[in-house]
Chains A and B, each alone.
Chain A
């Protein structure tokens, strides 16, 4: 005779299978598949690329995926005070990116290659009469170390800011001290967002004000600027993507933060130069870098215009780190699509410097030795 326990288990299993079957039928009839790997060739079918695309779409569309992730996050955060991979939970509502803590056995050689790439880029610009200023951004963990709670920021990172600056300055690269002004400014205003990897509009302003030495700024052609404060906006920090809780246990969730961007434009006469369409007066300053510069929410480009009282061409890109955008910009300069400016600002969060292998940097056309 079949035991009741056995019947329960059989029923549970059949229930799960029935749900799986119903979902599969629904998926087969209504799903839109993103054929990333399948190029339509017989080889793609034979080598399992069609199956891979189907599998990815199946996983992504899974109707209980979102609630599973939320539930798992609630357990992790509620019981253990931890988040999934990618974010570390500090004290007082502060979150930190794991990228700021990470240090692997490849980090030393990667860092060395990154410094060589910056030094060689500086030389390249110098050959064309362009001055490079590296905006080396300290980590949020360092500036706001008092909110780390039980987290221990690895000692290996602690001297890194000074070491990197020292090494680059020894090769005549201009790397202004930005950590100190940020730490001083945080007494009066918040310079990094609590739940985001990025700085605040105020933090961006502090850096813009302390970046370019006065003598260099004075040599730039002035532009007429108009300053337009923008509407206050509610912002959901990017680190919260790792702690999606849905509507389960709202008491655990982190609040949105408020941002008020500003927009500083060069006057109408200078609009043509914004496009840098090859006329005789190219935009005097170019800004290359990461999302810290590319995202208009933080207003770094506007603050730079304000601080330098000149026009700025922004070639930074989101989600690509500091090297890809610079590589793309250098290519455009080399191809003559853009003219060399007087000054290039290369915004570079220090946490990225040990992420690129020498091979990767070489593939981006950087010289690393």
Chain B
């Protein structure tokens, strides 16, 4: 589904990611672990095609298509979607009208209820939302957008424990399941706290540190290792 080969990414002359190799098979959910500023968000932004990240070398192949030279819109059309870490507020655009623009009114009520956002449907997007509410709405937005590859940038940060379960449930229901055109969805999640790991079925985890992919392995084992040893390579 997603194949990243030898990827080096820079902002101007400043290299942010170096020689990243990552393989995400169709239907799987992978998590990215790493300290602040390690390049996890930069990797998601690069896959999505957000500026100012520039691919210096290497390839990003999505569903058989090299996408590194495609623009944001083309990647979105191919089926890549991103739940932002800090999405913008949209004064004057209600959640309901936004869902209508996505063509997802039918799914809105049920999905919103699952994420406990039923009372938010007629409010302006992210205006006056708490940190956790913004995150839940961002997850809901991505679910409504219905991409094949779902990128979540810290979906559980700032979300209270009870709602982390709802966020996890939402991710679990979508990733591995078919999208509206019947294609199986895959997901890549950045997590800081690891809380989400208890509520999703993650297939693999990758540690990113100082712009390099340090190690990949079983999510729960790796997270346990990080809790005791920090972001290091576990002994074989």
Q: Are A and B associated in one complex?
A: no
> Which of B's residues lie within 8 Å of A, judged by CB?
none
> Which of A's residues lie within 8 Å of B, judged by CB?
none
